Amino acid sequence: MANALDKAKSRFEGILKEQLDRIERMKSEEDWIDYRQVDTIAIGILGGDGIGPFITEHAAKVLEFLLEDELKSGRVAFHVIDGLTIENRAEKNQSVPDDVLEEIKTQHILLKGPTTTPRKGDPWPNIESCNVSLRRYLDLFANIRPVKVPKEGIDWVFFRENTEGAYVLGSSGINVTEDLAIDFTVTTSQGTDRIVRLAFDYAKKNGINRVTAVTKANVVKTTDGKFLSIAQQIASEYPDIEFDDWYIDIMTAKLVDKKRRTQFKVMILPNLYGDILTDEAAEFQGGVGTAGSANIGKRYAMFEAIHGSAPRMVDEGRAQYADPSSMIRAGAMLLRHIGAENRARRLEMALDICGSLERKISITGRSTGANGNEYVGYLMDTMKDGELENRWKSYQETT
Ligand code: IPM
Ligand code: MG
């Protein structure tokens, strides 16, 4: 027993040291990258696995079309990066193999398809999720997830903390004895400060007058307590923005409450709650297949779907029917991130028309619906000059 305790203590000490080092790195963090100072914006395309390569290819095709001028002039360059497949990660026994990470780090921005997250009992080694690793390795601290259902008055943007909480040490728990398992959750002042400020700045810039923090600070007193009290402090620096806070349990209920949910606008949450609530939120919009996600850090940014790799669709031979909307929405966020605001907006309008307002063809995930290729064709046709504005206007008039 003494031996088990000593071992656990020394593991814990290692974890504490790592986190203290991380705090020092955050304190001396560089400023935000300014793409105006960069000659060529390098965009890495990572297909991932499962349905990932299918839907990523569609999104890349749409971006290629919209960034044609920049690709020609060399202002933007795409690089396909292989090696994030579960087979390769399993073979190297690394969540992101060293050589793949090295290649990734030569890019500014990533468009990344879903990747399989192993779990106990899988044929793969139980390695860390490569999403979680990449978010940590590239310090992509803000996971920004918009969800919009215009007909229902829903217009939410979630700011999920992406490098701390229960996630960052999710693969570092300790089996102290055969009977005792301990996991850890982490909140730092620096890590909370940067996500909360980003959310408030976003609200301010976009004329949004309400920010809501979601925690369980009444029970998880130390880490969630810290997150909430920092949010409260920062809120006082933004007197024009109304701030409130909710607990995660009642918040999941309130999202289903049609009268209350439209009041929420910008939400800030620790990692795990952000993971859960954004899947629920996406369901109102048409499911996780329709939601894109931006992982933003000061140096790197990664755009992806909010869902997983759906290996079952591949096993059943249905991968070509997977909905690429999530990845294409992530692509729209990528466009906005590099300053192509207009094109981002046009793409989002086309997605709204094709995916909800018009739905001339629809995706069902099976041969009963359109395949990804047909859907992208429909989307591209909708984006033609003149066409988009007319169709958009007609829907605004009828709804
Ligand atoms: C997400 C996903 C990931 C997460 C998985 C695939 C590890 O659910 O991006 O929300 O839990 O963060
Ligand atoms: Mg999730």
Q: What is the 3-state secondary structure (H, E, C) of the chain?
A: CHHHHHHHHHHHHHHHHHHHHHHHHHHCCCCCCCHHHCCCEEEEEECCCCCHHHHHHHHHHHHHHHCHHHHHHCCEEEEECCCCCHHHHHHHCCCCCHHHHHHHCCCCEEEECCCCCCCCCCCCCCCCCHHHHHHHHCCCCEEEEEEEEHHHCEEEEEEEECCCHHHHCCCCCEECCCCCEECCCECCHHHHHHHHHHHHHHHHHCCCCEEEEEECCCCCCCHHHHHHHHHHHHHCCCCCCEEEEEEHHHHHHHCCCHHHHCCCCEEEECHHHHHHHHHHHHHHHCCHHHCEEEEECCCCEEEEECCCCCHHHHHCCCHHHCCCHHHHHHHHHHHHHCCCHHHHHHHHHHHHHHHHHCCCCCCCCCCCCCCHHHHHHHHHHHCCCCHHHHHHHHHHHHC
Atom number, ligand 1, closest to the C-alpha of residue 135: 12
Under 8 Å between Cβ of 266 and 159: yes
Burial (CB < 10 A; 0-12, 13-18, 19+), residue 399, is: exposed
Query: Within this chain, do residues 285 and 308 fall inside the same structural domain, yes or no?
Result: no
Q: Tokens representing 228?
A: 């909430």
Q: Find all residues with CB under 8 Å of 90, minimum gap 6, and list them.
A: 118, 124, 125, 127
Q: Are 111 and 45 in contact (CB under 8 A)?
A: yes
This prediction has a pTM of: 0.94
Nearest CA to ligand 1 atom 3: 131
In a domain, 12, yes or no: no
The alpha carbon of 131 and the centre of ligand 1 are apart by a number of angstroms equal to 7
Q: Is residue 16 part of a domain?
A: no
In a domain, 42, yes or no: yes
Which residue ranges of the chain lie beneath pLDDT 50?
Answer: none
Instruction: Find the 271 Cα to ligand 2 centroid distance in Å.
Output: 10
Pairing of strands 266-269, 154-161: parallel
Amino acid 399: pLDDT: 57
Distance (Å) from CA 117 to ligand 2 centroid: 11
Q: Report how many domains make up the chain.
A: 2
Cα-based torsion angle of the residue sequence 337, 339, 340, 345 in order, rounded to the nearest 10 degrees: 60
- Smallest CA separation from ligand 1 atom 11, residue: 275
Atom of ligand 1 nearest to the CA of 271: 12
Q: Say whether both 152 and 260 belong to one domain.
A: yes
279 CA → ligand 1 middle, Å: 10
Q: Are 137 and 246 in contact (CB under 8 A)?
A: no
The residue contributing the CA closest to ligand 1 atom 6 is 308
Q: Do residues 131 and 175 both lie within one domain? A: no
Residue 366 token pair:
């099976």
- Taking the CA of 128 as reference, the closest ligand is 1
Ligand 1 closest atom vs CA 132 = 7
Is 152 a domain residue?
A: yes
Kindly identify the ligand whose nearest atom is closest to the C-alpha of 161: 1
393 C-alpha vs ligand 1 centroid, how far in Å? 36
Domain that holds residue 56: 32-140+297-399
Q: Give backbone dihedrals phi and psi of 247, rounded to 5 degrees, phi first.
A: -90, 150
CA distance 265 to 87: 40
Whether 21 is covered by a domain: the verdict is no
Last residue of a domain, one of 250, 266, 289: 289
Q: What is the pLDDT of residues 351-381, one digit of tens each?
A: 989 988 888 999 999 999 999 999 999 999 9
Using a 6 Å CB cutoff, which residues line ligand 1? 117, 129, 131-132, 275, 306, 308
Can you give the pLDDT at residue 69? 97
* In a shared domain, residues 230 and 345: no
354 and 388 in contact (C-beta within 8 Å)?
Answer: no
Distance 198 CA to ligand 2 centre (A): 21
CA distance 241 to 196: 13
Same domain for 78 and 51: yes
Residues 280 and 217 in one domain: yes
Residues 254 and 304 both lie in one domain: no
Question: Which protein residue's CA is at the shortest distance from atom 12 of ligand 1?
Answer: 275
Is residue 208 domain-shared with residue 183, that is, in the same domain?
A: yes
Q: Of 255, 289, 323, which closes a domain?
A: 289
- Tell whether 102 and 222 lie within a shared domain: no
Atom of ligand 1 nearest to the CA of 115: 6
Domain's final residue, options 231, 265, 289: 289
The ligand 1 atom at the shortest distance from the C-alpha of residue 114 is 6
Q: Which ligand is nearest to the CA of 118?
A: 1
Cα 129 to middle of ligand 1, angstroms:
8
Closest approach atom of ligand 1 to CA 293: 9
Q: Which atom of ligand 1 is nearest to the CA of 131?
A: 7
Question: Is 318 within the bounds of a domain?
Answer: yes
Which residue has the CA at smallest separation from atom 1 of ligand 1?
A: 306
Residues 98 and 62 in one domain: yes
Both tokens of 297, joined, read: 């850090």
Say which CATH number the domain at 65 has.
3.40.718.10
pLDDT of residue 398: 66
- Amino acid at the residue 133: S
Residue 24 within a domain: no
Report CA(306)–ligand 2 centroid distance (Å): 6
Q: Nearest bound ligand to CA 145?
A: 1
Length of the chain: 399
CA 288 – ligand 2 centroid, Å: 9
305 & 356 share domain: yes
Domain membership of residue 190 (yes or no) is: yes
* Pair 271, 319 in one domain: no
Q: How far apart are CA 281 and CA 149, in angstroms?
A: 10
Q: How far apart are CA 290 and CA 280, in angstroms?
A: 12
Mutate to test the pocket of ligand 1, among 49, 116, 117 (most ligand atoms within 8 A of CB): 117
